[in-house]
Amino acid sequence: MTPGPVLQALDVRKDYGGLRAVADVSLAVRAGEILGVAGPNGAGKTTLFDVITGHTRATSGEVLLAGQPITGEPVHVRARLGMARTFQQPTVARSLTVGENMVLAAAFGRPRASRRAGRRPAREVAAEYLEFVGLDGKAQVLADLLGVFDRKRLMLGTALATGAAAILLDEPFGGLSPAEIDETIVLIAGLRERGLAVVCIEHVMRALTSVADRVLVMHHGAVFFEGTPAQMLADEKVIEVYLGARHRKGGA
């Protein structure tokens, strides 16, 4: 028997006044699966995340976590039930050190996960993920002093330290150098091995196509295309509205 999806969105809609930012989008992600979300600026990708994570209320539709409807639950309740997110702009507690950010996330995370792991102290959970994201040498550094790459890794580390089963990443590769992108590809692929259900918004195509198992392309709030990364790169209508003529010539 295959287990059901960890995270599901059913016909999610979000209207801002007369603007339909998200138009009846459905998705499902299983444990150990990475779903990529692409699409032009303003397509509604971040708004879809906002609705799924409870940062804004859906106009209609449903969100389910481990099969349970959570549509009306606030952000902190969803976090405790096993959902975490990173933001397009790296947001960390800037007045705390890297290590303190991690311990805080582990302490306020998902109680069930820490029970399963044998009630591990927050400090121990924090140390594990600090190493996973490659910041174990910077635990004492003030988060405010970090560069973009480290800030993004810290944001990913804190999301993981909450013990989330489903994680939503909003442009984790944005603003990174090619070498940093390579490192982040390895990190995110590692989430699959850890059995997380991952949704990843990204414009950097080489990154998205290397990490994603499936891709959903949004356009004007709606699902425009769904398929494998290879199918997306070859799809004429995706090339026309999103990828551009460069891809037709075989460029990146």
Ligand X SMILES: Nc1ncnc2c1ncn2[C@@H]1O[C@H](COP(=O)(O)OP(=O)(O)OP(=O)(O)O)[C@@H](O)[C@H]1O
Q: Return the residues of window 38-57 that contact ligand X according to CB under 6 A.
A: 39, 41-47
**235 close to 225: Cβ distance less than 8 angstroms:** yes
* From Mg ion, ligand X, none, interface partner of 230 (C-beta below 5 to 8 A by class): none
Q: Return the H-helix or E-strand segment holding 157.
A: helix 148-161
Candidate residues 8, 46, 53, 184; the one interacting with Mg ion per rule CB under 5 A? 46
Burial class (CB in 10 A: 0-12, 13-18, 19+), 147: exposed
Strand duo 60-65 + 214-219: pairing: unpaired
* From ligand X, Mg ion, none, interface partner of 90 (C-beta below 5 to 8 A by class): none
Kindly give, in sequence order, each residue whose CB lies less than 8 Å from that of residue 158, ignoring residues fewer than 6 positions away.
Answer: 92, 101, 102, 104, 105, 129
Strand duo 60-65 + 68-69: pairing: antiparallel
Output the smallest distance, CB 73 to ligand X, in A.
20
C-alpha radius of gyration, the chain, whole number:
18
Cβ closest to ligand X, residue 50 vs residue 126: 50
Output the smallest distance, CB 45 to ligand X, in A.
3
Kindly give, in sequence order, each residue whose CB lies less than 8 Å from that of residue 141, ignoring residues fewer than 6 positions away.
Answer: 97, 98
Cβ closest to ligand X, residue 24 vs residue 128: 24
Cβ closest to ligand X, residue 113 vs residue 243: 243
**Site residue total, ligand X (CB under 6 A):** 12
Query: Which part of the chain contacts ligand X (CB under 6 A), choosing from 15-23, 93-101, 161-169, 243-251?
Result: 15-23
The footprint of ligand X (CB under 6 A) covers 16, 19, 21, 39, 41-47, 88
Q: Which residues contribute to the site for Mg ion (CB under 5 A)?
A: 45-46
